[in-house]
Amino acid sequence: MKNVFVDSSKAKQFLPNGAVESLKEKVLTAQQELEQGTCPGNDYLGWLHLPSEITPEFIAEIQATSDVLRQECDTIVVAGIGGSYLGARAVIEALGNSFAWLANKGENPNILFAGNNIGEDYLYELTEYLKGCRFGVINISKSGTTTETALAFRLLKKQCEEQRGKETARRVIVAVTDAVRGAARTTADKEGYKSFVIPDNVGGRFSVLTPVGLLPVACAGFDIAELVRGAQDMEKICATAPFEENPAHQYAAVRNALYQAGKKIEILANFQPKLHSMNEWWKQLYGESEGKDKLGIFPAAVDFTTDLHSMGQWIQDGERSIFETVVSVERPAHKLLFPHDEENLDGLNFLEGKRVDEVNKMAELGTCLAHVDGGVPNVRIVMPELNAYYLGQLIYFFELGCGISGRVLGVNPFNQPGVEAYKKNMFALLDKPGYEAESKAIRARLS
Ligand code: PA5
């Protein structure tokens, strides 16, 4: 059986001979540090063997909660930000029919996302839209104190109680949060909501295989057991495969070798629009894990062929500080042929009868060759199919690749001290009690 694998042959040609192999020791040491819990940030290594620790009983518990929400709701709003929503959104969009939400055919509830911005119009329009809906809420916040999520949850809780009554609201609001701390926990316990715990030792961006991701994905009607099985298999592969065949090792090594060779920006590309949010999840995983101590590859992302018509020029011909990592799906789920046209005004009848995916694949190969010719190293991550099993493999591969890569770079991949800076200023500007000194200082700066 095929697994997700990495092909870095078209990246290595940009590197001195043996550059990737020369990082083998560092990669193996990094993995050992993770395994032994001796690296910085070792309080947050719960994700490392999370897949193999997930039991069928735990999956059944999540499934049972999702059954309640699916029975009682036509719309489920997932309130969360960063690691508390990106993974769920990535999986749901990758597995879902791109247009089912428009048709609202009723088989699965619509999954909406909130709590990931402070846009007044967004929140207003959401609350207006929900007026016609039998909606429920999954409130996801590890800290339970995140402003964006707390704001959305206040609005949603109130509206849900008013529209559906307190008793029903209690059944259709579920919390995913810390075991004991934070407002989300306090509210869940006080109101008697069903709740799931985000383990202390799993940071937000590594939490997609906890109920943070699993519950919304199950609510959307997708097979979380398959997702977990894929992650479990990738956990085994990455724990045992030698460096030369280990996808996480190869990815961590090649991207560090490229970084050392001056490639400071990694562009994650897909040729399947359903993977757009997977790009977003990856950007957070790698950006928040590695961008610190004035180091780190800048993670950018594009959807091809769409963005070849906007970013293509820059990638082909701009500053040569980039490399490209393409997530390539081997087989699409559906079959569609390029149609015949009697008049052939566009001159495309030579493609008649070909699978649309064959055209896409040639666009992918042509793009890769053009970009390589233009001086852009290319790494391919190949997924046999876009299904729950292989998404599970991809997720764990990226997580382990990130942990190892961050350690090879020499940073603590599991903290995010830089994220606090904007919050401090925002609270000072909003005169939050306790921020009086910061408030005075920031106002003096602005006057
Ligand atoms: O990766 C992270 O730690 C962050 O992206 C958090 O997930 C995000 O800030 C949300 O935090 P919380 O779950 O505490 O609301």
- Minimum CA distance residue for ligand 1 atom 15: 141
Q: Specify whether the CB–CB gap between 234 and 4 falls below 8 A.
A: yes
| pLDDT tens column, 173-182 | 999 999 999 9
81 lines ligand 1 (CB under 6 A): yes
Rounded Cα gap, residues 153 and 211, in angstroms: 18
Q: Specify whether the CB–CB gap between 230 and 391 falls below 8 A.
A: yes
Residue 105: per-residue pLDDT:
60
Q: Which residues pair with 195 in a beta bridge?
A: 175
| pLDDT tens column, 82-135 | 999 999 999 999 999 998 877 666 689 999 999 999 999 999 999 999 998 999
Q: Write the single-letter amino acid at 112.
A: L
Rounded Cα gap, residues 53 and 46, in angstroms: 10
User: 310 C-alpha to center of ligand 1: Å?
Assistant: 31
Count Cβ atoms within 10 A of the Cβ of residue 332 and give its class: 0-12 exposed, 13-18 middle, 19 or more buried.
Answer: middle
| pLDDT tens column, 215-251 | 999 999 999 999 999 999 999 999 999 999 999 999 9
Rounded Cα gap, residues 362 and 131, in angstroms: 46
Nearest atom in ligand 1 to the alpha carbon of residue 143 is 14
Q: What is the pTM of this model?
A: 0.97
Q: Which two tokens stand for residue 100?
A: 């089912």
**How do 5-7 and 378-385 pair as beta strands?**
antiparallel
141 lines ligand 1 (CB under 6 A): yes
Please enumerate in sequence order all residues whose Cβ is within 8 A of that of 17, keeping only pairs 6 or more positions apart, or say none.
none
Mean pLDDT of 297-324: 97
Rounded Cα gap, residues 378 and 14, in angstroms: 9
146 lines ligand 1 (CB under 6 A): yes
Mean pLDDT of 388-401: 98
Mean pLDDT of 421-443: 93
Please enumerate in sequence order all residues whose Cβ is within 8 A of that of 159, keeping only pairs 6 or more positions apart, or say none.
127, 130
Question: Distance of alpha carbon 261 from its chain centroid, rounded?
Answer: 27
Band of residue 166 on the pLDDT scale cut at 50, 70, 90: very high
Residue 102: per-residue pLDDT:
75
User: 145 C-alpha to center of ligand 1: Å?
Assistant: 10
Q: Tell me the average pLDDT of the chain.
A: 96
Residue 1: per-residue pLDDT:
82
Q: Which residue has the tokens 């990738």?
A: 234
Residue 106: per-residue pLDDT:
64
- Minimum CA distance residue for ligand 1 atom 3: 204
Residue 132: per-residue pLDDT:
85
- CB burial readout 124-145, b (16+ within 10 A) else e: eebeeebeebebbbbbbbbbbe
126 lines ligand 1 (CB under 6 A): no
Mean pLDDT of 278-300: 98
Mean pLDDT of 329-334: 96
Rounded Cα gap, residues 155 and 409, in angstroms: 42
pLDDT at 60 over 80: yes
Please enumerate in sequence order all residues whose Cβ is within 8 A of that of 119, keeping only pairs 6 or more positions apart, or say none.
none
| pLDDT tens column, 30-58 | 999 999 999 999 999 999 999 999 999 99
Mean pLDDT of 5-33: 98
Band of residue 21 on the pLDDT scale cut at 50, 70, 90: very high
